[in-house]
Amino acid sequence: MLNEKITDKTPMIKILQAVDPAIMPDFGGGDRDMTRMAQTLMQDLFAMQTIYRAAIKEISTKLEILNDEFQSTHQRNPIHNMSSRVKSPKSIVEKLSRKGFPVTAEAARTYLDDIAGVRIICPYIEDIYTVKAMIEARDDIEVTRITDYIEHPKDNGYRSLHLIVRLPVFFSDHKVLVRIEIQIRTIAMDFWASLEHQLRYKAIEPGRIPEEVSAELKECADTIAETDRRMQDIHNTYVKD
């Protein structure tokens, strides 16, 4: 694995050179023509991104409609804002390599759940579960996995609700079932996660945060969680939904 953070400027060939040869695709004739391999892989992964972009458009529209409907019935939105991204070819290669999967577009489609990612930010904790229930109630979206890092926060303090969903995307002559990772969290949880992510990558030794800093970050996460609970209580006491 590459011992440095992959940026937009890291050449694909450099990433591939760091991959365990055992999980590299066989290009026939036993030759390991890295340049050809990098070009083919980039082409395949860029082509694949079109499908994931289409899936993000589909789900974003469905979520916007649900949010609007909630607004008209409850006079407020459970979704504060949404963002989305399709994983870059380089991040896909890095993740496949890190997990020991073959470095191919086919393996990415098969094994990676988060090539398409949507992040939903909610005002209050209960809104997260309202949004989850709205998604689960739809018959055009199948929820295949739920990881509740709010009920069970990660050791570092990370809190968020993760859903892996599957939905059909229709093209001119075929339909594809596409998986999307949806992360749902409060504004406060997002504040912590965004800064923690930045700190982790910008640390002197990327990916390694000193123990005392980790402990402080965990304390901040717990304070934020307590604040989220208090804001929820205030809302439940003084606002009529």
Tell me if 228 contacts ligand 0O2 by CB under 6 A: no
The b-or-e profile of 162-194 (16+ CB within 10 A means b, else e) is bbbbebebeeeeeeeebbbbbbbbbebbbebbe
Q: What mask of x and - would describe binding to ligand 0O2 in positions 110 to 139, judged by CB under 6 A?
A: ---xx--x----------------------
Report, as residue numbers or ranges, the catalytic residues: 181
* Least distance in angstroms from the C-beta of 71 to ligand 0O2: 28
Q: Residue 5: CB partners within 8 Å, gap ≥ 6?
A: 201, 206, 207
Q: Which stretch binds ligand 0O2 (CB under 6 A): 102-110, 150-158, 172-180, 202-210?
A: 150-158
d(CA 55, CA 64): 14
In the bound state with ligand 0O2, the residue whose beta carbon lies nearer, of 196 and 228, is: 196
What dihedral angle (degrees, nearest 10) is formed by the CA atoms of 189, 164, 200, 209? 90
Q: Which of 40, 156, 214, 232 binds ligand 0O2 (CB under 6 A)?
A: 156
CB atoms closer than 10 angstroms to residue 63: 20
Q: Residue 160: CB partners within 8 Å, gap ≥ 6?
A: 149, 150, 183, 184, 185, 189, 193
* Count of residues in contact with ligand 0O2, rule CB under 6 A: 11
Q: What is the CA radius of gyration of the chain?
A: 20
* Least distance in angstroms from the C-beta of 95 to ligand 0O2: 6
Q: Which of 197, 208, 229, 230 binds ligand 0O2 (CB under 6 A)?
A: 197
In the bound state with ligand 0O2, the residue whose beta carbon lies nearer, of 37 and 118, is: 118
Q: Which stretch binds ligand 0O2 (CB under 6 A): 23-31, 55-63, 190-198, 203-211?
A: 190-198
Point out the residue whose Cβ comes nearest to ligand 0O2. 158
Q: Which of 196, 209, 221, 225 binds ligand 0O2 (CB under 6 A)?
A: 196
The footprint of ligand 0O2 (CB under 6 A) covers: 113-114, 117, 147, 154, 156, 158, 162, 193, 196-197
